[in-house]
Structure 1
Amino acid sequence: MKVSVNRTVQPVIDEMLATQEALEIRAHTLGNGATVIDCGVDVRGSYRAGALYVQACLAGLATTEILVESIGGIPFPFLHLTIQHPVIACLGSQKAGWIIKTPSYRAMASGPGRALSLQPKSTYRTIGYEDESEEGVIALEADTLPDVDTARYIAEKCGIDPSGLTILVAPIRSLVGSVQISGRIVTMVMHSLEEAGYDLSLIRHAAGSSPIAPVKKDMMEAMGTTNDCNIYYGSVCITTEQYDTIFETLPSQTSPDYGKPFFTLFRDAGNDFLGIDSRLAFSPAEVTINDCTTGDVRHFGVRNSEVLLTSFGVQ
Structure 2
Amino acid sequence: MDSTLRDRRPSVSALSHPLVESLVAHADTLRLDVSRGYGGACIVDAGIKARGGIEAGRRIAEICLGGLGTVSIAPSPRFARWSTLLAVRTSDPVLACLASQYAGWSLAEGDFFALGSGPGRAHYAKEDLFAEIDYRDIGSTATLVLEVDRLPPDTLIERLANDLELGADRLTLILTPTQSLAGTVQVVARVLEVALHKAHALHYPLTRVVDGIGSAPLPPPGADFVTAMGRTNDAALYGGEVHLFVDGPEDEAQQLAAGLPSSTSRDHGRSFGEIFTAYKGDFYAMDPMLFSPARVTVTALETGRSFTYGAFHEAVLDRSFG
Verify same fold: TM over 0.5: yes
Query: Match for 1:223: what amino acid?
Result: M
Percent of aligned positions with the same letter in both sequences?
32
Structure 1 unaligned blocks of 5 or more = none
1:274 aligns to what? 284
- Determine if contact 2:257/2:307 at 8 Å carries over to the other structure: no
2:312 aligns to what? 303
TM-score, scaled relative to structure 2: 0.94
1:130 aligns to what? 136
Partner SS, residue 280 of structure 2: coil
Query: Match for 1:270: what amino acid?
Result: K
Q: Cα RMSD over matched residues?
A: 1.3
2:264 aligns to what? 254
- Give the CA deviation at 1:31: 3.8
1:143 aligns to what? 149
1:48 aligns to what? 55
1:293 aligns to what? 302
Q: State how far apart, in whole Å, the 1-side matches of 2:73 and 2:20 are.
A: 19
- Establish whether residue 159 from structure 1 lines up as the match of residue 165 from structure 2: yes
- Establish whether residue 180 from structure 1 lines up as the match of residue 211 from structure 2: no
1:60-102, Cα deviation, whole Å (9 max, x unpaired): 1111111122454224322111112110111100111011111
Query: Match for 1:136: what amino acid?
Result: A
Q: State how far apart, in whole Å, the 2-side matches of 1:79 and 1:101 are.
A: 31
- Establish whether residue 62 from structure 1 lines up as the match of residue 69 from structure 2: yes
Structure 2 unaligned blocks of 5 or more = 1-7
141-150 or 185-194, larger mean C-alpha shift:
141-150
1:239 aligns to what? 245
Q: State how far apart, in whole Å, the 1-side matches of 2:129 and 2:219 are.
A: 29
- Give the CA deviation at 1:147: 3.2
Q: State how far apart, in whole Å, the 2-side matches of 1:22 and 1:147 are.
A: 27
- Determine if contact 2:42/2:169 at 8 Å carries over to the other structure: yes
- Give the CA deviation at 1:201: 0.7
Partner SS, residue 53 of structure 1: helix
Partner SS, residue 81 of structure 1: strand
- Give the CA deviation at 1:179: 0.5
Q: State how far apart, in whole Å, the 1-side matches of 2:82 and 2:110 are.
A: 44
Could you say if the C-alpha distance between residues 271 and 174 of structure 1 is closer, same or farther in structure 2, counting changes exceeding 3 Å?
same
- Determine if contact 1:114/1:158 at 8 Å carries over to the other structure: no
Query: Match for 2:298: what amino acid?
Result: I
Query: Match for 1:78: what amino acid?
Result: L
Alignment of 1:109-128 (within 5 A): 109-120=116-127, 122-128=128-134
1:88 aligns to what? 95
Q: State how far apart, in whole Å, the 1-side matches of 2:268 and 2:154 are.
A: 43
Q: State how far apart, in whole Å, the 2-side matches of 1:170 and 1:149 are.
A: 20
Task: Detail structure 1 runs of 4+ shifted over 4 Å in the superposition.
Answer: none
- Establish whether residue 23 from structure 1 lines up as the match of residue 33 from structure 2: no
- Determine if contact 2:109/2:153 at 8 Å carries over to the other structure: no
- Give the CA deviation at 1:119: 4.0
- Determine if contact 1:97/1:119 at 8 Å carries over to the other structure: no
Q: State how far apart, in whole Å, the 2-side matches of 1:45 and 1:302 are.
A: 33
- Give the CA deviation at 1:270: 1.4
- Give the CA deviation at 1:247: 2.6
- Determine if contact 1:36/1:166 at 8 Å carries over to the other structure: yes
TM-score, scaled relative to structure 1: 0.96
Could you say if the C-alpha distance between residues 72 and 6 of structure 1 is closer, same or farther in structure 2, counting changes exceeding 3 Å?
closer
Could you say if the C-alpha distance between residues 135 and 27 of structure 1 is closer, same or farther in structure 2, counting changes exceeding 3 Å?
same
- Determine if contact 2:257/2:308 at 8 Å carries over to the other structure: no
Aligned residues: 311
Question: Which of 189, 204, 209 does residue 203 from structure 1 map onto?
Answer: 209
Partner SS, residue 28 of structure 2: helix
